[in-house]
Amino acid sequence: MTLRDKLDAQRDRSAVNPVWRATYEATVAELRRTGFLDQALRAGARFPDFLLPSAAERLVSLGDLLARGPLVVTFIRGQWCPYCALTLAALEESLPDIQAAGGRLAAITPETGGRALAVTQRHGLHYDVLVDVDSGVGLSCGVVFHVPEPYRSSIARAGIDLADRQGNGGGLLPVPAVYVIDRAGLIACDFMDVDFTRRPEPADVIEALRALG
């Protein structure tokens, strides 16, 4: 079963609820309308340097992660997002192949308060989950957006308090972009879709890594 199959199955389950479905479709349509992805960092650009705390309570820089080879980095929306959970687990399964291709893997979450450690433990991850406190890296990459209505209310009704989870009242989420970054810090390849239920297949990410040689 590919990641895509699992994501599709999850979306089908969620879409049984007509309110969820309408909200989801409106959100994706709104992000498409505002031309959101034209603004994000894409292949060829330099990935912004960072120094972020990890689930293991270390401060990790982009340079640390690129020290031995290229890097695959995925933005995730949070512990509460089932599509992110499926993606994190799929990437964990692919970790040996990513490493065999000479790459390293990291996830970036906007959630504070130990939630990076919680997802690491829950999915048994063997890669860094970094905390983008106040979404500075997400902003530098142009992948964060202000959550539009009615999605904002729908998240809140589900008991997901973004302000509490992220430790700020910005009301922002990242598009779950995946970047392949070469050793020099340049983005070699990007995968992004404003539809948060669509993520790249790990095999495609590994293919992009291998292309770096």
- Least CB distance from residue 51 to another protein, whole Å? 5
CB of 117 to another protein, least distance (A): 6
Of residues 116 and 181, the one with the C-beta less far from another protein:
116
Short-list 189, 200, 186, 183, CA closest to 70? 183
> What is the closest distance, in whole angstroms, from the C-beta atom of residue 155 to another protein in the complex?
16
* Of residues 69 and 167, the one with the C-beta less far from another protein: 167
Maximum alpha-carbon separation in the chain: 48
Nearer to another protein, 80 or 97 (CB): 80
By CB under 8 A, name the binding residues for another protein.
34-36, 39, 48-54, 57-59, 61, 112-118, 131-137, 139-140, 142, 144-146, 148-149, 167-172
**Residue 174 carries which side chain, given as an amino acid letter?**
P
Query: Residue 99's Cα: distance from chain center in Å?
Result: 19
| Smallest separation, CB 156 to another protein (Å) | 16
Pair type for strands 104-109 and 128-131: parallel
Taking the least distance from each CB to another protein, the nearer of 30 and 193 is 30
- Here the tokens at position 42 are 């894409």
In DSSP notation, 156-198 reads HHTT--HHHHHTSS--EEE---EEEE-TTSBEEEEE--SSTT-
